[in-house]
Structure 1
Amino acid sequence: MKILDSDHCIAILRGQLDLRDWVLPSDELAVTSINVAELIHGAHKSSQTAKHLAQVDVLLAAFRVLPFDEQAARRCGWLKATLEKAGAPLHLADLQIAAIALRHNLPLVTHNEKHFRRIPNLQLEDWLA
């Protein structure tokens, strides 16, 4: 299983990424509950809210949604403190997504490698590069 970041979900919605180029039909993909919030937020900011919410619903139905649970929250708190001490802070949402990926020991598929590369032991892939 791999976790898709919001940028890859948006690329799918825009027709810029075809999953058939990257995964087998038997592969399971996931998103995090944080990605769900980001996608819903984006749809509500749109001038075509109902259309975009429906598209997001169809997309999310194809993926497993991994929650931000207590274990991920604890890892997120540690990551936030560690990166702040190192002078390399990240946005809380990115830390939450990374913590969920680390908690499940899953790779994160993101185009935002520059930020996520700061996180120790996080496996990264970029299907948009």
Structure 2
Amino acid sequence: MVIDTGIFIEHLRAKDKFKTSLYMISENTELFISSVSLYELYMGASTKEKENDILLLTEDLEVLAFTDFVSIKAAQIYHELRTSNKMIEFRDIFIAATCLVHKLPILTLNKKHFKRIKGLEIL
């Protein structure tokens, strides 16, 4: 499954890490992060300590790149959402396209936006 940015942020901010969505994922579940989520996390890191926390949290995850196939899928999603007047943030479109291209579900706290995307499995 692909872990959305908000799941990581919830974990990084939590005082009790054992109660976060990320901690409750089964150990035998294969986890991925999109390159867009990785960008969002580092973009929000205002100190070296926060950057190190992100590195420790994500270093063992496979990063799914924003490839040509993902960019084409993202453009298709964009046009569908725009046509139906249900636009969401561009980075969320990029993350959703990554999931769809790799045929992976997304674990997110932002179900409201992601449910607008046809075919995306949301956990």
- TM-score, normalization: structure 2? 0.91
Deviations 1:76-120, CA, capped at 9 Å, x for gaps: 001001110111111110000000000001000001000000000
| Runs of 4 or more consecutive aligned structure 1 residues displaced over 3 Å after TM superposition | none
Asked if 1:23 corresponds to 2:22, the answer is: no
Q: Which runs of 5+ in 1 are unaligned?
A: none
Q: CA deviation at 1:20?
A: 4.8
Q: Does 1:112 align with 2:114?
A: no
Equivalent of 1:69, from 67, 70, 84? 67
Letter in 2 for 1:92: F
Q: 2:50 aligns with which of 49, 52, 65?
A: 52
Structure-2 separation of matches of 1:99 and 1:85: 17
Residues paired across the two proteins, number:
119
Q: C-alpha distance in 1, partners of 2:3/2:113?
A: 15
Instruction: State the identity as a percent.
Output: 29
Shift of 1:18: 5.9
Question: Residues 108 and 18 of structure 1: is their aligned pair in 2 closer, same or farther, counting only changes over 3 Å?
Answer: closer
Task: Establish whether residue 79 from structure 1 lines up as the match of residue 77 from structure 2.
Answer: yes
- Assess if the C-alpha contact under 8 Å between 2:7 and 2:22 holds in 1: no
TM-score norm. by structure 1 comes to: 0.87
Structure 2 unaligned runs (5+)? none
